[in-house]
Structure 1
Amino acid sequence: MEAILGEDKSIGNDFLGLLLEAHHGSNVKQRISIDELVEECRTFYFAGQETTNSVLSWIILLLAQHPYWQEEARKEVLQLFGKQTPNYDGLAKLKTMSMIMNETPRLYPPAVLIVRKVAREVRLGNLLLPANMELLVPPLALHHEAQFWGQDAGLFKPDRFSEGVGKATNDNMAAFMPFGMGPRMCVGFNFATTEIKIALSMILQRYSFTLSPGYVHSPFQFMTLRPQHGVQIILQSL
């Protein structure tokens, strides 16, 4: 836990405090066991690491294939940070990187299916959905639907997000859900986004990279959508 939280442990302490209160607190109607507490911590750790690694791997692959966007992202990083460690204020100004970080999970969403259970009977368009019905929402299919994204839906074009998600989806915001949507959206989304921006900025500051001839493209679903054989790239120090 200390390695994850780094210098500022306030967020982690608050989180652990809430879990421990749920376990020991006298005001909590339904307490959780120590085993459940451990499993919750494991879920947070695994989900955060797995999705971040997956998205970052696909970004590196796509930037290796598209040197123009790699160079545009590097220019932006060097303009904001130079060779210094990325800072929080600068991360919020990374417009080109933000477009890349939207376009990448559009093409390769961490979750290819999202499962939701209907809490009560509800009408969805012409459909009447009964309570307790399970719905399978396929982000992978939605993200490649030409009706929302145009005929170039299969291409890597980060600039489609230059004016936001609404403009990119022709005002169909629900067509873009790499981390879910609404109140059940991934709780670690903002944390993962910050992690990726920091890691990618530091890579771009130090290296240029191209795709190795030995790379075999084989997207593979194991919890998340990942490169089955990894991403082999050739690094050149800057």
Structure 2
Amino acid sequence: MSLIKAVLGPFLRLMFRPRAEGVENIPGSGPVILAGNHLTFIDSMIMPLVCTRPVYFIGKDEYVTGKGLKGRAMAWFFSGVGMVPVDRDGANGGVAALMTGRRILESGRMFGIYPEGTRSPDGRLYRGHSGIARLTLMTGAPVVPFAVIGTDKLQPGGSGLPRPGRVTLRFGEPMEFSRYEGMERNRYVLRAVTDSVMTEVMRLSGQEYVDMYASKAKAA
């Protein structure tokens, strides 16, 4: 990851001019969950530029299983930016993603997650999935909410080549939920924890909130 940051960091900084606010809210050690909004493909590329600690994200395993020179280059890049490949399309994709995040946190590292589960189809903030709540209750890791602002203007629709511009990343204060310890199977607790995190993300991002899952909005 440090190699990728050293090689591509200067170019990405010049292209996106990332500005970080509240980065001092990220604990300097121990397991941390970064939870925020998801606007475009480049969100996970910009995040490591402003964090002093490595950030690990889950991504589709197809990003690192390609063949030939292009496949090897993609595998090198995505592994270098902290992506951990998981087969999310399989029958147990959700469980695999959750357990992968748990392993990362239990090893004392920082795990980035987008509770919406997919990119926003229209720039609004959608309902969060409860995996974020399960992770913090299972591991005791604090949640640092964050907002990515501006990437949807640089990469409209979330695809295609992004154009240069300014991106802001805003981090809130750590949130801890030790009062719910041992209640990770209680669906009301999971929803309450998830909604409290998404409320902070909404406050940081200034986005309009939609009380439905982004995947359903895309399907509609």
Q: Same fold (TM over 0.5)?
A: no
| Larger Rg over CA atoms | 1
TM norm structure 2: 0.27
Relative contact order, CA 8 A, sep 6+: which one is greater?
2
TM-score by length of 1: 0.26
